Amino acid sequence: MQDAAYEERLRLLSEGSINKNFQPYRDIDWESPEFAVVPGDRRWILQRETDPMGGHPWYLAQPEEKQIAIGMWRQANVAKVGLQFENILIRGMIQYVFVQPNGSAEARYCTHECIEECNHTLMFQEMVNRIGMDVPGMNRFLRGVGKLLPLAGSSLPLIFFMGVLAGEEPIDHLQKRILRAGGDIHPVMKSVMSIHVAEEARHISFAHEFIERRAPRLSRARRFASSLAMPVIMRVLCDAIVVPPKEFWETFDVPKSVRKELFWDSDAARDELAGYFGDVRMLAGNAGLLNPASKLLWKACKIDGRASRFRSEPHR
């Protein structure tokens, strides 16, 4: 009965991918005049309500021209990280699909998701190109190991889908907060985020379902090892996505003290970090991946706290 319910949820997710999907070159009018990226556009200034740097005294003290340049660089780099992460996700998910049997509902849904993620990489890269900042995306270490990470898709699928959530949850959290704030942001950025949030809801839902179904079926030893891996994966990949790379700090001559305060020394920054993972903490509890040892690791990684009561509950 449990498998039948799971397969029915996968069928609904697959039908959703068929009936409600987006095409980056059909649904975004890239050539519209309002989408033009022009010098001096104040809409690229980071908002204090939605970006940790946006309200920092150092950033606010910079000339407007530099604030705009920092905002453009940061938003372009977040998009570049997103497409790099989704490239890894696509390759790993295809590895997983490759070993699935005929008739697998997981294989069908994962293939739908790969198609959507390919469209997201096109959309993110187009946004980066139009902003015009030559950003690197992930830090050098992760760009290197990114060649190997997809292999976990077939060999360590539970760990792989934890990694999927570690990348998807922070980006989804940040983008939802920006869209909910309703500030004056550039139409390119708003359109890309709106499409991404709409389709990521399915992708995150699948990863939650996958982990919640698989984890309880592991042996006690493997489940314990997975419970310890989960918070570490969340923290490491979150930093790779949210924290700007070395090139950013050097380009804009940002003091080391500012970097440490923003990521993640101050109380506000730590609260922000923990807020990314309320849904994942809920998942860990539901999947039997919380125990005294793993709780200590969640705390050591500075991402412990109250679990969400329901998916996508706003962090307050």
**Which comes out higher in pLDDT, residue 141 or 286?**
286
Q: What is the pLDDT of residues 258-305, one digit of tens each?
A: 999 999 998 889 999 999 999 999 999 999 999 999 999 999 999 999
Q: Is the pLDDT confidence value at 256 over 80?
A: yes
pLDDT tens profile 184-242: 899 999 999 999 999 999 999 999 999 999 999 999 999 999 999 999 999 999 998 88
The answer to whether the CB of 192 falls within 8 A of the CB of 124 is yes
CA-nearest of 188, 195, 194, 243 to 41 is 188
User: Looking at residues 2-22, what average pLDDT do you find?
Assistant: 91
Quick one: tokens of 296? 């200590």
**In the chain, where are the structural domains located?**
2-300
Cβ neighbour number for residue 160 with a 10 Å cutoff: 24
Q: Which CATH superfamily is domain 2-300 in?
A: Ribonucleotide Reductase, subunit A (1.10.620.20)
Residue 115: pLDDT band (50, 70, 90) is: very high
pLDDT at residue number 174: 87
Q: What is the average pLDDT value for the chain, to the nearest integer?
A: 93
Cα torsion through 139, 144, 150, 156, rounded to 10: -90
Are 183 and 50 contacting, i.e. CB atoms less than 8 angstroms apart? Answer: yes
Q: What is the band of 1 on the pLDDT scale with cuts at 50, 70, 90? A: very low
- What is the band of 48 on the pLDDT scale with cuts at 50, 70, 90? confident
Q: Are 117 and 91 in contact (CB under 8 A)?
A: no
Cα 28-34-37 angle, rounded to 5 deg? 90
Q: Are 114 and 93 in contact (CB under 8 A)?
A: yes
Q: Are 133 and 91 contacting, i.e. CB atoms less than 8 angstroms apart?
A: no
DSSP one-letter code for 151: G
Which residue type occupies 137? G
Q: Is 103 exposed, middle or buried (0-12, 13-18, 19+ CB in 10 A)?
A: exposed
Structure tokens at 302: 């500075």
DSSP 254: -
Q: To the nearest 10°, report the CA torsion of 75, 257, 230, 87.
A: 30
Reported as a single tens digit per residue, the pLDDT across 234-251 is 999 999 888 999 999 999
Tell which residue, 120, 117, 111, 109, has the closest CA to residue 15: 109
Check whether 311 has a pLDDT greater than 90: no
Supply the pLDDT for residue 316: 58
What pLDDT is attached to residue 315?
61
How far is the C-alpha of 77 from the C-alpha of 167, rounded, in Å?
14
| Per-residue model confidence (pLDDT) at position 314 | 65
What is the Cα 307 distance to its own chain's centre? 18
pLDDT per residue as tens digits for the range 153-191: 999 999 999 999 999 999 898 888 888 887 889 999 999
Q: How much is the pLDDT for 142?
A: 87
